[in-house]
Chain A
Amino acid sequence: MTTDIHTGPGSSGRNAPLIEVRDLVTSFSTEAGRIKAIEGVGFIVRKGRILGIVGESGCGKSVTALSIMRLLPKPSGVIERGEIRLRGQDIAQLPVEGMNHIRGRQISMIFQEPMTALNPVHKIGRQLREVFDIHRSDLSKAQARTACIELLQKVGIPDPESRMDEYVHQISGGMRQRVMIAMALAGKPDILIADEPTTALDVTIQAQILQLILDLQAETGMAVIFITHDLGVIAEMCDDVLVMYAGKVAESASVKDLFSTPKHPYTQGLLRSIPTLDSRRKTILPVIDGMVPSLFDLPAGCRFQNRCPRAMPICETEPPPLYRVGSGHAVSCYLYDNIKDESAGG
């Protein structure tokens, strides 16, 4: 039912996708029954590209990341359907042992709150060395220590040698996130998933960490999946972007296309409603009325219909498929039904 916009010429060969997610459905069991946290999510990330996933709380952006990492809470979270192709190999249903070879080496992840992701009772050096013990068992103890120090230096930690012997609570939030990034990069992964890595940080520290991720990405050529709620961060960091709403992809495009010609009424409303430094002070901001529907009580049809200024009768009955509206630009909205046929050919 969903049109896959990404397949076509170029999906094989030297620019083959590093990761390709297709029609992913992840559900959770709750006291009130099973709910689908994401439904039909699909995207492609190629080498050296940064894909942003943006959306509000509960839209499924983190669940998408955890599904790829196969780190869904057990037993409640289950990948019901879909493929997660890593260099062609589907890892959606791979057993845990298989994932151990993939996590850290092929895909790594950093989290929003480094304090909870790091172990408070072990020294930083020990936590970092553990990564080398697992992925680079060929290194001697001394070599591993040197590698750790080099890595800390690379992520911009001053005086890395003495930091090795400190505990997590002794360093600042920005430094903790740097340690997390160092750990994630230790296994030289092809793909880094960053789940709101700067949301808990102050703006000036956020600027440092974003710059660090960009520098490391340019240096290693890894692909990055960057999850955030901040469209400003998307604009500054990413090449491509996926806008999610209530568990589904609303729009996917290159960053430039998304910001210059947003197609989905949700994306349009979102972009209009953010106050910027250029907007006129003390004026009423354009808003998206209403709220995101609960995942327990989703409407039939389009999930944005109750807030959409351009909703039509069909939006209430049938969920809209993804329409291709340009090269690499797709939108899940019936407003673009009529142009489907023209653009599919070109």
Chain B
Amino acid sequence: MKVENKALSPLLTVKNLKMHFPVRGGVFRRLRAKVFAVDDVSFSVPHGKTLGLVGESGCGKTTVGRCILKLYKPTAGKVVFNDRNVLSLQHEALRESRKDMQIIFQDPFESLNARHTIQEILEEPFIIHKIGNKNQRVARVRELLDRVGLPRNSLMRFPHEFSGGQRQRIGIARAIALHPKLIICDEPVSALDVSIQSQVLNLMLELQETLGLTYLFIAHDLAVVKHISDRIAVMYLGKIVEMSDADSIYEKPFHPYTRALISAIPIPDPFRKADKIVLRGDVPSPINPPPGCHFHTRCPYALDRCRVEPPGLKDAPGTSGEQHLVACIRAGEI
């Protein structure tokens, strides 16, 4: 259909996305405060690529994913998917667009109906979208099982009969059932054991290759994110603090938070005892984020200016054209 500018326009563009959750209390449920879960986030993901979204709990990475699917109604901003603004879609048009964007959750057990067989779980997307007759659906479900590496005899079994890794395969099978273009992967391997993690990561890489999938990969494990991503955005308290292609963000991180995150990853190599940057203090609450740069309360390099002036996301020193963006007024000098 509209393939001509495929190479130029990204599949997904998020512009100035804001999601402020109200905190209500008292007799009249009056607005007490707001949680600034996502605060002015912009990025785009080209066709067939993976954007990794990393950050610690409460940084807003999961909320970004849910806003894109319009599972939440964002406070402000735009989500352009396949050249259409998702946030203005209603009813039938919204449902239609969700065929093209799917989600895989962290906990495959909670996201699979415990009372349905695998056959029923995997058939449901086709029923909802009125695709095929019973026989065609059954055939497609079998195909899906093969594709994600589950035995055919899984069909009549229930989710509890499977291991964590197998359940995540079921979640993946469900997500790819309708040939989506984009999959939001929300911590898909965090709950899995190490030896199973790599199996699932391999499956996701393979599927991306063969089906031309685009991923938004949300996780807190930087090593995993780096392995699967083309570009990475680091979030802190609702904002992107640094965004760049996956290799250079590790080789040359500019933001002190990115540096601390990378340095905090335990390295499975006892012969490489690097000096760790251990950040002091905790992440502040997103209900009342600190003024200025949100990171200044933990930043070893903070100046007085950082406490008042919010840094914008700008080209990092020595880069141009939004290749490497960083939100720190001291980027390059520290």
Contacts and interface: CB of A to CB of B under 8 A. Distances in A.
Interface of A: 56-57, 172, 174-175, 202-208, 210-211, 229-236, 255-256, 259-260, 269-271, 273-277, 279, 281-289, 291-292
B159 interface: no
A285 B267 contact: no
Interface stretch (B130-138, B140-148, B275-283): B275-283
Given A269-B195, A281-B246, 11 more contacts: A206-B266, A207-B279, A208-B280, A211-B278, A256-B271, A270-B195, A276-B223, A276-B267, A284-B206, A285-B201, A288-B198
10 contacts: A205-B56, A207-B278, A229-B194, A255-B270, A256-B271, A269-B195, A275-B201, A276-B267, A285-B198, A287-B202
A69 B244 CA distance: 48
Closest 10 CB pairs of A and B: A232-B266, A275-B227, A202-B56, A56-B193, A273-B198, A207-B264, A285-B198, A231-B268, A203-B264, A235-B270
A291 B169 CA distance: 13
A65 to B, nearest CB: 18
Q: Which of A274, A279, A289 has the most CB of B within 10 A?
A: A274
B57 A202 contact: yes
Given A281-B246, A291-B196, A235 B268 contact: yes
A280 to B, nearest CB: 9
B229 interface: yes
A231 B198 contact: no
B15 interface: no
Interface string B174-203: 000000000000000000011111110110
Given A207-B279, A284-B206, A202 B198 contact: no
Nearest to A171: B282
Interface string B253-290: 00000001111111111110100101110110000000
A198 to B, nearest CB: 9
Nearest to A205: B282
A207 B267 CA distance: 12
Contacts of B331: none
Contact of A285 (B164, B202, B226, B270): B202
A275 B246 CA distance: 14
A274 to B, nearest CB: 6
B205 interface: yes
B55 to A, nearest CB: 9
B278 A208 contact: yes
A288 B195 CA distance: 6
A175 B282 contact: yes
B58 to A, nearest CB: 9
Nearest to B246: A281
From DSSP, what is the main secondary structure of chain B's interface residues?
A: helix
B171 interface: no
A206 B56 CA distance: 11
A287 B195 contact: yes
Contacts of B201: 275, 285
A287 B198 contact: yes
A276 B260 CA distance: 16
B35 interface: no
Given A284-B202, A285-B202, A230 B196 contact: no
Contacts of B195: 56, 269-270, 273, 287-288
B327 interface: no
A156 B90 CA distance: 52
B66 interface: no
B276 A204 contact: no
Contacts of A175: 282
B192 to A, nearest CB: 9
B267 A232 contact: yes
Contacts of A285: 198, 201-202, 227
B302 interface: no
Contact of B282 (A172, A203, A276): A172
Contact of A282 (B57, B165, B220, B227): B227
Given A204-B261, A208-B279, A291-B165, A274 B228 contact: no
Contacts of A282: 205, 227-228, 230
Nearest to A58: B193
A233 B270 contact: no
Nearest to A230: B266
A308 B160 CA distance: 26
Given A281-B229, A285-B202, A229 B193 contact: yes
Contacts of B205: 282-284
A172 B166 CA distance: 34
B268 A234 contact: yes
Contact of B283 (A202, A232, A260, A273): A202
A260 B268 contact: no
A269 B198 CA distance: 11
